[in-house]
Each structure stands twice: as C-alpha cells, then as structure tokens.
C-alpha cells in the first residue's frame, strides 16, 4: 500500500534528459570474453552516435531474486527523445544489435524522463 504522502498530488520536476534502460538476459553459453567484448562495444556507441550523454552498465547484484533472469542492465542518457530516435536508427546501433542478438535470450527496453519528487 502506498504511503499517504505519496498519494497526494505534489508538483514534480522533470529533467529534459531521457533515460533508455536495456535489461539483458544473456545466454548461459556466453563466455566471459564475449560478454566483455559486447559490453565494450555497447559502451562505444556513446562515442559513435551524437546525443548520447552517458552510458552506464552493471550486472545484477540484487539479493531479492526478482530479476526474472535478467543478468545485466545498460542505461543510456540522451539529450532528448529526438536524440534517442537518432540512436535507434543509427547504423552503429543497428550493427551492434546484430552483433548482440545471437547471445541474448531476452531483452527488455524501458525509456523514461527522470522526475524528482520534492521533499
């Protein structure tokens, strides 16, 4: 149940940056060398595609057991939705997706604008 203070309509502030989260469920057969190569190639998209502000990555370390099999999280921050749209159709991104596909069981993508709750 939500805390009563969270249910009250309060003004929120929103940044113009757009966050693009990619959760990956890598196949069991992936080697650590191939995994490292894919992470590196993903990180390089920041330098190859304009509008990507930041790239972050990390393996799942949650003790809750609610990861649904997803092993890795990648977060890209874009200047805005237009920059994200350029990224999605950019040849460097499309080539990376083809490189990644054979090693993925599943992928989940979620985009959002960060909001801060005052107080």
Q: What is the mean pLDDT of residues 61-77?
A: 95
For residue 30, pLDDT beyond 80: yes
Which range of residues forms the domain containing residue 32? 16-111
The per-residue pLDDT for 88 is: 98
Considering the domain boundaries, does residue 2 fall inside one?
Answer: no
Report d(CA 37, CA 72) in Å as an integer: 14
Mean pLDDT of the chain: 90
The per-residue pLDDT for 11 is: 47
Considering the domain boundaries, does residue 5 fall inside one?
Answer: no
Q: Report residue 55: phi and psi, to 5°.
A: -130, 130
Report yes or no: 30 and 59 within 8 Å, Cβ to Cβ. Answer: no
**Which pTM value belongs to this model?**
0.83
The per-residue pLDDT for 6 is: 54
Report yes or no: 1 and 96 within 8 Å, Cβ to Cβ. Answer: no
Considering the domain boundaries, does residue 99 fall inside one?
Answer: yes
CATH number of the domain that 105 lies in?
3.30.70.100
Considering the domain boundaries, does residue 6 fall inside one?
Answer: no
Domain total of the chain: 1
Considering the domain boundaries, does residue 82 fall inside one?
Answer: yes
For residue 1, pLDDT beyond 60: no
Report yes or no: 37 and 100 within 8 Å, Cβ to Cβ. Answer: no
For residue 72, pLDDT beyond 50: yes
């Amino acid at each position: 149940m939500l805390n009563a203070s969270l249910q009250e309509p309060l003004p929120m502030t929103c940044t113009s940056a757009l966050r693009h989260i990619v959760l990956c469920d890598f196949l069991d057969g992936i080697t650590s060398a191939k995994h490292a190569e894919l992470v590196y190639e993903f990180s390089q998209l920041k330098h190859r595609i304009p509008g990507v502000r930041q790239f972050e990555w990390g393996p799942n370390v949650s003790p809750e057991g609610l990861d649904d099999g997803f092993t890795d999280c990648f977060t890209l921050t874009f200047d805005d939705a237009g920059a994200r749209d350029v990224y999605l159709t950019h040849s460097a991104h499309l080539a990376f997706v083809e490189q990644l596909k054979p090693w993925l069981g599943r992928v989940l993508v979620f985009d959002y604008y960060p909001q801060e709750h005052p107080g």
